[in-house]
Structure 1
Amino acid sequence: MAKIYDAIIIGGGPAGLTSGIYGGRAKLNILIIEKDEIGGQISLTEEVANYPGIFKISGSQLIKNMREQAKNFGVDFIKEKVIKVDLLNKIKKITTEQGEYEGYNIIIASGLIHKELNFTGEREYRGKGISYCSICDGEFFADKDIFVVGAGYAACEEAIFLTRYGKKVHLIAREPEFTCAKTIGDKVFANNKIEVLFNSEVVEVSGDKLARKIKIKNNISGEIKEYSSINNENIGVFIFVGQKPKTEIYKDQIKLDEDGYILTDELMKTNIEKVFAVGDIRKKSLKQVVTAVADGAIAINQVEEVSDENPRIETSQVEEVKIIEEDKKLNLFSEDMIKNIKENLEKLSEKTEIILVKSSIEEENKNILEFINEFKQITDKVQFNILESDNEVIDKKLLERLPAFFLKKDNNIKIKYSIVPLGQELESFIDAIREIYGEKIEVRENLLNRIKKIDKKINVKIGVSLKCTRCSQTVKVNQIIVNNNENISLEIIDVVTHKNFKTKYDIVGVPAMVIDDKNLYFGQMSLEEMIEIIEKQ
């Protein structure tokens, strides 16, 4: 019998995680589903200084602490895209690209997405100079002109952050002054690398393969100026003009306001029994971390009050994960990473072999060998076979970027990792090992059939950065495709390390997918979106 959760939480930001923490502590069966990296928008915030009791913390660290707290209380996490919801029956059903999940209560905490401005060139140059994530893409514009669009807190904060990369940051605001706290605006004015253009808006971004020019209109005088870098360098344009709710899949079942926000009462209840909405996705006057966590606590309290009415399905207790001995000091892996590795790989029925082909330049092998040495201390389920670059085992055409891991099965190379899989890519690396050598991830039948029908050889290369919060999801969906069709091959490439790859394809944003060494696609992809791209080749 399939497990039925007391509550399924859609979204892993502060509101969703708080519901998870309170629910897990109350011994409820809780599942948190998040499309992107756990944390939502606040995980990209450099500094949180207004959370009660905490003087200063990064958004990513705050979320990491909350996630670890939820996991310690037994909350289940999955990273999948929700594509359909059925909320009208007693047992609610959530459908993702990989499967279906059932729960007695649903808490919607899926937050907001970035608004677009729809100026000429915005869509054409997305991933080619236009970005909505400074942490993911800022490093691609080192010593170049960067333009930040917006007048609020996010725009000001990101403009300050981007000064560590750009030679000049131009902040473009339609408003006559900043709309955020004066303290943040004062920081912008005090930074001599930032030029502020009030009463202005972007009318066009243009270029060739990359964005190189931007036209800005002064809304007072009507004058339009075109800006371009010296020597016709490419430019970066980062847009932070607000957000809108992710409510498209709920609109036929849940009451929304005219802007798409979910309507709730003070107990976070929607118009559907046992369906709640929390955080920024619901209509409310103040959208802050502190109000989000309050929403999450209130909603799960309502679930807890009626949880005894739910029939119980016994599930096996999660075995305690033993952390490695104190005398084995690990520099690369946090406690959370260690738990992730052990929980996933201990399920493998037998040892697996991963091939590492070293670079001929010994200095380039240092980091990846350190990774192996520490990884072996955590689990004995993986055996690393280390080969020199002139070894005949691997086809010569696969040795362009070294050092690299090769995951193979039945004498076929399935996936190549031209990267030290840390940061955001550790989870995708673990998933790849588990899927190839253990159990495959379940995929909806219609998508699985489309994958299996692809009948020609296709090579996919994905350029990623270890800082990118969007890359691992795209890597994971491609790994699912590869593991279900022998015609598809996959390489994951660190664009910071392998600069020749970045330069060859003019990559100025990640994830960047190169199909058959010719067709280039940018941005996070769902499984269905990636299948569609491959079908078109």
Structure 2
Amino acid sequence: MPKENGELYDVIVIGGGPAGLTAALYLARACYRVLIVEKEHFGGQITITERVVNYPGIASISGAALTENMRQQAEAFGAEFKLAEVTSLDMTGDIKTVYTSQGPLRCFGVLLAAGARPRTAGFRGEEEFRGRGVAYCATCDGEFFRGLPVFVIGGGFAAAEESVFLTKYASHVTCLVRGEDFSCAAQTAEEAKKNPNITVMTNTVVESVAGDTTLRSMTYRDKKTGEEKTYTAPEGSTFGLFVFAGYEPATELVKGIAELNPQGYVITDENMKTSCDGLYAAGDIRIKALRQAVTAAGDGALAATELERYALQMQKRTGIRPLRPESAAFAQETTVNAESPAAKSSAIFAPEILAQLQTVFARMEQPLELRLFLDDSDVSQELHIYMKDLCQQTNKLKLTRAEQADEEGAEGSERPYVRVYRQDGSYTGITFHGVPGGHEFTSFVLGLYNASSQGQAVEPSLREKILAWDKPCHLRIFVSLSCTMCPELVTAAQRLATLNSKITTDVYDLNRFPELQKKYQVMSVPCFFLNEDGPQFGKKNIAQLFQMITEH
């Protein structure tokens, strides 16, 4: 009988999109130990799609909701998850090593499902004005261009679909299409072309953008005539430029390990196996005719069944069987029933969310105080109700209200907010301005867990450096509750704060604080300032963020 090993996985899946989540579901359900490693956010690129209407069995759903359902289903069967960046692979021998930003991991087989990432357009000024008018996610950043003109670069499905979405915010949307027409399905293109708030300009490429702290002008060229024109924003105003120029496969990890085609996509056989023994690939990262959530899920299911056979073969060959931890049965342990603590009534949280909260609360080692700093606004009332409902679900959280004069260093205009304190009265470094709902609910709950216990694992050498840090650092972070990239930055910042009292965080739902958006000229999220220096844009994991702090 194989010897059990608690530090070994049957399969490590790199990438948490539909392909990786489906594979994890199949493997975990077959009682194999599987870990999904994701460096950004679980769900993949589809999470930025507001409406998915072509996934079989589901009439209409957001991409974020669809993949969150997939994640919960995989977790229910025992799949494990880790937010970390995979830096390299060692595919030699029977036991493979996956090197990550949080240390090495060992397994029998690897599934590469890292997908593809947005391409840049390559015009002059693109990188300089990224986050200051140039954007890549309509869901995340569209709301910051309310009442302003918006231009969209691209002629594919994303460009056509997101152009329609952006009409919710923009005064007008102009699509700049490089070719003669859109290259996506005719029905999707027609929605954009027939929209009265969208103008389509074909045979057009952007040459450059310019401005000061934000975009002020854009130069574009007619490919047929060669004529260049410059669009200039009205005096004192700005505009948005969204880039949807296609995707490139995230295959850097396997260059020199597995065979790739000239475009960089992984070559696999019909069973998703690559040219490297023990390495499989699924989803948008491999050569395929159609890149959709449903085909990614199909890839993941097929790869999983092949990896089941491979893992079993390796167990027999090595005499080792990976041991699944007790926590792998997470969702099965938290099934809601009439006697379950998670069955407490709630006006805000759904039963499945309450069940997950109870698991988190059970692991919290010390009580916390949630101290509210309120004013007379409707947002304050909403925050009060939200926090009261949360605290009613457990005796680990106590709700208090600060006196009006007890501002503790924050500006009065930044109310309402909630600050988190430990049982001994010490500040955890966690403050949220607004109401931590949407995608920030999970990061807020993780912050509570990290503040009240040993918290999420941090690579030992990195943890040691964080604990030794002795200079004050304040992180001011601006987010949107609809942004799928913001939670990773917030979670990383709050984890740093819970480990070292010299580091403090203030997180703002930017929608609630338009005066701060104007003051800091934030046109994209996630956005953050280190000791008021910035802005910096983009998601960061804990290692990347701490490095920025040490170099500041």
Please say whether Structure 1 and Structure 2 have the same fold, judged by a TM-score greater than 0.5: yes
In structure 2, what is the equivalent of residue 368 of structure 1? 383
In structure 2, what is the equivalent of residue 402 of structure 1? 415
Please, which of 213, 217, 242 is the counterpart of residue 213 of structure 1?
A: 217
In structure 1, what is the equivalent of residue 403 of structure 2? 388
Percent of residue pairs identical: 32
Note closer, same or farther for the CA distance 1:335–1:532 as it changes in structure 2 (3 Å cut): same
Amino acid at match of 2:476: K
CA RMSD across the alignment: 2.2
In structure 2, what is the equivalent of residue 127 of structure 1? 131
Is the 8 Å Cα contact of residues 99 and 442 (structure 1) preserved in structure 2?
no
Amino acid at match of 2:29: R
Q: Residues of 1 paired with 2:266 and 2:211: CA distance? A: 40
Q: Residues of 1 paired with 2:533 and 2:38: CA distance? A: 32
Please, which of 91, 101, 105 is the counterpart of residue 101 of structure 1?
A: 105
Bigger Cα displacement from structure 2, 459-468 vs 325-334: 325-334
What secondary structure sits across from 2:511 in the alignment? coil
Offset of 1:411 from its aligned partner?
Answer: 4.4
Offset of 1:76 from its aligned partner?
Answer: 1.8
TM-score normalised per structure 1: 0.93
Q: Residues of 2 paired with 1:343 and 1:297: CA distance? A: 29
Amino acid at match of 2:367: K
In structure 1, what is the equivalent of residue 357 of structure 2? 341
Is the 8 Å Cα contact of residues 147 and 237 (structure 1) preserved in structure 2?
yes
What secondary structure sits across from 1:8 in the alignment? strand
How is 1:173-188 mapped onto 2 (pairs within 5 angstroms)?
173-188=177-192
Note closer, same or farther for the CA distance 1:515–1:186 as it changes in structure 2 (3 Å cut): same
Note closer, same or farther for the CA distance 1:87–1:345 as it changes in structure 2 (3 Å cut): farther
Is the 8 Å Cα contact of residues 379 and 435 (structure 2) preserved in structure 1?
no
Please, which of 133, 139, 153 is the counterpart of residue 149 of structure 1?
A: 153
What secondary structure sits across from 1:514 in the alignment? strand
> Can you list the C-alpha shifts for 1:425-449, whole angstroms capped at 9, x where unaligned?
1111122111121014333344335
In structure 1, what is the equivalent of residue 325 of structure 2? 315
What secondary structure sits across from 2:65 in the alignment? helix
Q: Residues of 1 paired with 2:63 and 2:386: CA distance? A: 27
Note closer, same or farther for the CA distance 1:354–1:58 as it changes in structure 2 (3 Å cut): closer
> Can you list the C-alpha shifts for 1:14-44, whole angstroms capped at 9, x where unaligned?
1111112212222222222222222111122
- Structure 1 residue 517 corresponds to structure 2 residue 532: yes
Size of the alignment, in residue pairs? Answer: 534
What secondary structure sits across from 1:90 in the alignment? coil
> Can you list the C-alpha shifts for 1:448-486, whole angstroms capped at 9, x where unaligned?
354345432221100011111111101111123223333
Please, which of 487, 507, 520 is the counterpart of residue 505 of structure 1?
A: 520
Is the 8 Å Cα contact of residues 367 and 395 (structure 2) preserved in structure 1?
yes
Amino acid at match of 1:81: E
In structure 1, what is the equivalent of residue 29 of structure 2? 25
Segments of structure 1 that go 5 or more residues without pairing to the other structure are none
Offset of 1:497 from its aligned partner?
Answer: 0.7
Note closer, same or farther for the CA distance 1:188–1:73 as it changes in structure 2 (3 Å cut): same
Offset of 1:338 from its aligned partner?
Answer: 2.4
Is the 8 Å Cα contact of residues 343 and 355 (structure 2) preserved in structure 1?
no
- Structure 1 residue 466 corresponds to structure 2 residue 476: no
How is 1:18-417 mapped onto 2 (pairs within 5 angstroms)?
18-309=22-313, 310=315, 311-312=320-321, 313=323, 315-316=325-326, 318=330, 320-323=333-336, 329-357=345-373, 359-361=374-376, 363-391=378-406, 395-397=408-410, 401-409=414-422, 411-413=425-427, 414-417=429-432
Note closer, same or farther for the CA distance 1:439–1:468 as it changes in structure 2 (3 Å cut): same
Is the 8 Å Cα contact of residues 343 and 351 (structure 2) preserved in structure 1?
no
Is the 8 Å Cα contact of residues 462 and 511 (structure 1) preserved in structure 2?
yes
Q: Residues of 2 paired with 1:432 and 1:230: CA distance? A: 43
Is the 8 Å Cα contact of residues 94 and 108 (structure 2) preserved in structure 1?
yes
Q: Residues of 1 paired with 2:524 and 2:70: CA distance? A: 29
Bigger Cα displacement from structure 2, 309-318 vs 520-529: 309-318
> Can you list the C-alpha shifts for 1:121-168, whole angstroms capped at 9, x where unaligned?
100000001111000000000010101000011100000000010001
Offset of 1:120 from its aligned partner?
Answer: 0.6
What secondary structure sits across from 1:9 in the alignment? strand
